[in-house]
Structure 1
Amino acid sequence: MQIVLLTAPRGPSRMPPPPRLISCDEAGYTGPKLLDDNQPYFAYAAIDLTPEEASDIISATRAKYHVQAPELKSSLLRKRENWPDIALEILSPLKGRVMVIAADKRLNLAGKTFEYILEPVLEKMNGLFYHYDLHRFVMNALHRVFFVAGESVPKLAEELQAFMKSFDPSDAPTVFAAAQQDAETNEILECVLRFARGYAKIIAEQSEHLQKDVNPVGKWTLDLTTTCLFSLILHGWGHQHESLDVLCDDSKPLQAMSHVFDGFVGNTKSAELIGRGGKPAPIKANLANPLRFGSSAANPTLQIADIVAGATTDLLQHQKDASYHELAKWLIPHMHPHTMMPDDDFIDLKQPKPRLNLAALRELARRADAGEDPLEKMAEFYEGLIAQEQKKMKWPF
């Protein structure tokens, strides 16, 4: 008896789709010096658009608005009175194909204070502190100081950056004087200073690589470009397309940091990070190749990305201007959740969580003064604070 094994006929093997072109550009760039009186906001845009589609939009805009410049650039178009209308007309056909992150530069610099002073000491248990938004508490408190100061923003930036290297208040006299005008922010800054002094050795060891001028990464540490691109790709387009070809406008900070993305070339796996409020934040991106860089003159998609980014920073600077209202309706739904804007709710001591974080920061400063372990039983410390708050009011966590 002969046994014949039957197998189902094989269908055609599935060919993976070609990588999706994602083109990226920024507006409001001022390099590692984050704060600039004339450009308080930064925006980074990533768009899902083919070169042919971009060329058609550019040609139509040129013809209708008699654009003579060799490139379509927001820096030129914003000089026209009808710039918001032009921007809206360019963007209207791109619904769902645009992501943009905006950042208040003052807030971001304040956030760097947490990142470079507290994070190196707390990193082994940082999920606990991120869960309760201690970083946002510190960031928004220091952001408030900038507006009390009355000095030019670049001066405040220089002082704070100097302080982050020395932990010496004499390097930031304007910042500390401004904090003293508000008891709450003054105490927060004082706790940060005590923490920095007490754990100076750990902080110095962990941030040594940032102090070396020969390291290009250190030069661009305070730049927003890489952070924004990471969010747009790993928390954005990477979840929507099977494979990505990421094209960026020529950028020194990105070229120095591009190796950060090399591990995602051909990577089909996802990983989970800790996001806002301690919630899981999965990252995913399968890059078809390392980041590519090009000029906007040779790449029409980069010109459209520039329009998106430029329209975003202009909208933020003219939020009360009626001529921007329709553009706002289009842009706001396309803003990435990682957009960074000040939020006083994080420091309102009438609310439980800010009170929780102030108590935790006081405890960390006390431990720094005493030379104690900064992490031992901090989870229990938070739990005790929560129990106290729950006695005062119904406050489910």
Structure 2
Amino acid sequence: MECFRIDESGYTGFDLLNEAQPFQGASAIGIDDAEAARLIREYFPKLQAPELKYRSLSKRVTNHPRLLGLIGELLANHKCITYLCDKRFALLLKFVDYGVEPHYYERNINFYEDGRNYALASVLYYAGARLLGDGAMENLERAFQNAMKLKSLAALSDLVTAARQTDWRKLADATGPLVYADPDCLAAIATPGVTTDMALPVLMALISQMELMSDGPYRVEHDQSRNLLTYHDLLQRQIDHTDEAEFRQSALASIRYPLRLSEVTQVDSKTSPAVQLADVLIGATIESAQRMTGRITDGLDPQCLAELYRDDQIIHMLPSLDLEGQREFRKGTRAAALIDYFAENFSSSQ
């Protein structure tokens, strides 16, 4: 049976405002351990460490050509998919989903139609601080994250207060519902199982592409890290779900149940060269995102890495002010139905 190996990076649970790890992602690669071991020996014949670790290798500039060569070979000759998200943007999307959209839903306005939620979250990302007040915008984001975690009356009250302390009239479409303590929005935020944790969206992005790349039933192997225990549980619940359903998310992504995915197992990455190569893919991608946004200065040249990827080998959740492009890309989305379906079948409270 075909097997994809996956690895993740940047997972911080509910905390999407973690300054040290602003990006989160995961990679999946269809390669067996024997071929993976051969490639590691070919590109790093003098490797002394018990396993290939991207971050350790990328610290030495002399390793960069070999890393780019290895990544290029993986992308050219094996089934690969990498997902990357800006975690602050992901938080703002959730802000729109739970702190804004319920208000409009009750007024028969589809806020997900043609990606309007992405457009509003992008405006908040780029212009929120300037329009609402720099410190006030940061306080609003933290108050929302806290309310989504605690779901207490005190946390919800703090969120309403934070919204009222912004210059909210400059972006009333996004802030008005919470300023007026809209009961539907507050109820959505307080719903058990609703969380800012991005593990499920990251996994679903990978799964949607593995479903397309696989030739039939397939399985997944991943490392035994604590972070991936969350992913393991979510993968198993996806496998166990046998209802028939299909949802279109964008021009590139859709999901249909039941899945072709039939098995998930945990392995020690030290004994799995294939998992180590998944670590290389996601490690390089997140490092490049850090470099492109000026957060770090070392690592691979982001442009050289980007040139190795085909468009269908990377998915990203990043803000964009190309509002027309976003509308066309997400035209016909069933995002609202998918969110409801996930909440009903895969929420963390179940």
- Rounded Cα–Cα distance in structure 2 between residues aligned with 1:263 and 1:126: 32
Q: 1:340 aligns with which of 317, 325, 331?
A: 317
- The residue aligned with 2:268 is 295
Counterpart position of 1:327: 305
Please state how far the C-alpha of 1:246 moved relative to its aligned partner: 0.7
1:44 Cα shift? 0.9
Kept in 2, the 8 Å contact 1:99–1:336? The answer is: yes
1:29 to 2:11 alignment: yes
1:35–1:154: 8 Å Cα contact kept in structure 2?
Answer: no
Alignment check: 8 A CA contact 1:268 1:286 kept: no
Between the aligned partners of 2:156 and 2:241, the Cα distance in structure 1 is: 41
Q: Report the equivalent of 1:231.
A: 205
Q: C-alpha distance in 1, partners of 2:107/2:37?
A: 49
Residue equivalent to 1:314:
287
Confirm or deny: 8 A CA contact 2:144 2:159 kept in the other structure: no
Residue of 168, 172, 179 corresponding to 2:157: 168
What is the correspondence of 1:178-197 to structure 2 with a 5 Å cutoff? 180=167, 184=170, 186-194=171-179, 196-197=181-182
Provide the TM-score with structure 1 as the length reference: 0.65
| CA–CA distance in structure 1, aligned partners of residues 134 and 100 of structure 2 | 27
CA distance 1:153–1:335, shift in 2 (3 Å): farther
Aligned residues: 310
2:147 is the alignment partner of 1:158: no
Could you tell me whether the CA contact under 8 Å between 1:99 and 1:335 is conserved in 2? Answer: yes
Post-superposition Cα deviations, 1:316-363, rounded to whole Å, max 9, x if no partner, equal: 1223889332211013535434x11111233x9xx9x7xxxxxxxxxx
Q: CA RMSD in A?
A: 3.8
In structure 1, what is the Cα distance between the partners aligned to 2:49 and 2:231? 32
| 1:34–1:109 Cα contact (<8 Å) kept | yes
Q: Secondary structure at the match of 2:318?
A: coil
1:104 match: 86
The Cα of 1:196 is off from its aligned counterpart by: 4.8
For the pair 1:244 / 2:218, whether they are aligned, the reply is: yes
Is 2:99–2:178's contact at 8 Å kept on the other side of the alignment? no
For residue 89 of structure 1, report the CA deviation from its aligned partner.
1.2
* Secondary structure of the corresponding residue to residue 261 of structure 2: coil
1:171-207 Cα distance to aligned partner (Å, 9 max, x none): 774x776x52x864x32342231475232564266x1
The alignment partner of 2:219 has SS state of strand
Pairwise CA distance, 1:258: 4.3
Counterpart in the other structure of 2:192: 208
Correspondence 1:109-124 to 2 at 5 A = 109-118=91-100
Supply the AA of the counterpart residue of 2:183.
G
Distance in 1 (alpha carbons) for counterparts of 2:301 and 2:221? 32
- Given the superposition, is the C-alpha separation of residues 227 and 170 from structure 1 closer, same or farther in structure 2, using an over 3 Å criterion? closer
- One-letter amino acid matched to 1:331: Y
Secondary structure of the residue that 1:57 maps to in structure 2?
helix
Structure 2 unaligned blocks of 5 or more:
328-350
- Matching of residue 86 in structure 1 with residue 66 in structure 2: yes
Distance in 2 between residues matched to 1:203 and 1:267, nearest whole Å:
24
TM-score, normalisation: structure 2:
0.73
Identity score, percent: 23
Q: Say whether residues 1:40 and 2:22 are aligned partners.
A: yes
Q: CA, structure 1 residues 129+200, in 2 after alignment: closer, same or farther (shift >3 Å)?
A: closer
Deviation at 1:287, TM superposition (A): 2.2
Q: CA deviation at 1:90?
A: 1.2
- Cα 1:222/1:293, change in 2 over 3 Å: farther
- Classify the secondary structure of the residue corresponding to 2:82: strand
